[in-house]
């Protein structure tokens, strides 16, 4: 698949699977198993987080409910400005709920810090983040991300939900692209 486009596999399917189970087991310990309205609410950020969200939810040994948001950050295609527009909002009120934002990748951290502020203003019982990937620049923005799958180098990656011009999301691993793909 996508023969000739992938320069290297950064994180294999197997590594993703193992780390997802580890994260899920650690995180589950911090939440009580309660009444249905007490279930942990996973908020997936479309579209990048979809594969991680579904695998993570199935690895969690506690009941969860799922909601999705889609946001778009203004700025160039390669760097975000921190000004965010909601393309799809949550369907439900999250007041009093234990909310865990499920993210694909934190790069500058600007999108996430906006999202954290937006969701906190809706008065959840708790608000945390789990992200599959994090890049070094993310540390410049003070957002409290307790749960990180992998810290990766400052390179553009695709696969397992992450796209380049909407392609490569369906790869089962995280990889880097050949420069020829960008027209290089």
Q: Which stretch binds ligand 5GP (CB under 6 A): 24-32, 51-59, 87-95, 157-165?
A: 157-165
> How distant is the alpha carbon of residue 135 from its chain centre?
12
Q: What is the C-alpha separation between 76 and 156, in angstroms, rounded?
A: 14
In angstroms, give the least distance from the CB of 95 to ligand 5GP. Answer: 26
In angstroms, give the least distance from the CB of 20 to ligand 5GP. Answer: 18
Q: Interface mask (CB under 6 A) for ligand 5GP, residues 23-62, using x and -? A: -------------------------x--------------
80 binds ligand 5GP (CB under 6 A): yes
Query: Among Mg ion, ligand 5GP, none, what binds residue 149 when CB lies within 5 to 8 Å by partner kind?
Result: none
Q: What is the C-alpha separation between 87 and 72, in angstroms, rounded?
A: 7
Q: Which of 94, 119, 132, 162 binds ligand 5GP (CB under 6 A)?
A: 162
Q: Which of 20, 64, 108, 147 binds ligand 5GP (CB under 6 A)?
A: 108
Q: Which of 94, 106, 171, 181 binds ligand 5GP (CB under 6 A)?
A: 106
């Amino acid at each position: 698949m996508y023969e000739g486009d992938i320069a290297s596999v950064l994180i294999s399917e197997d590594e993703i699977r193992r780390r997802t189970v580890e994260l899920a087991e650690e995180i589950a310990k911090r939440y009580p198993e309660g009444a249905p309205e007490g279930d942990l609410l996973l908020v997936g950020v479309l579209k990048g987080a979809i594969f991680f969200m579904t695998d993570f939810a199935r690895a969690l040994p506690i009941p969860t409910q799922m909601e999705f948001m889609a946001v778009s950050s203004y700025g160039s295609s390669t760097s975000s400005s921190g000004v965010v527009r909601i393309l799809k909002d949550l369907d439900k009120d999250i007041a009093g709920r234990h909310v865990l934002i499920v993210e694909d990748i934190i790069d500058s951290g600007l999108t996430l810090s906006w999202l954290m502020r937006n969701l906190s203003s809706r008065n959840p019982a708790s608000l945390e983040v789990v992200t599959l990937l994090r890049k070094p620049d993310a540390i410049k923005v003070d957002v409290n991300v307790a749960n990180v799958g992998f810290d990766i180098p400052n390179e553009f990656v695709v696969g397992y939900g992450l796209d380049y011009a909407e392609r490569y999301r369906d790869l089962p691993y995280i990889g880097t692209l050949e420069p020829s793909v960008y027209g290089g």
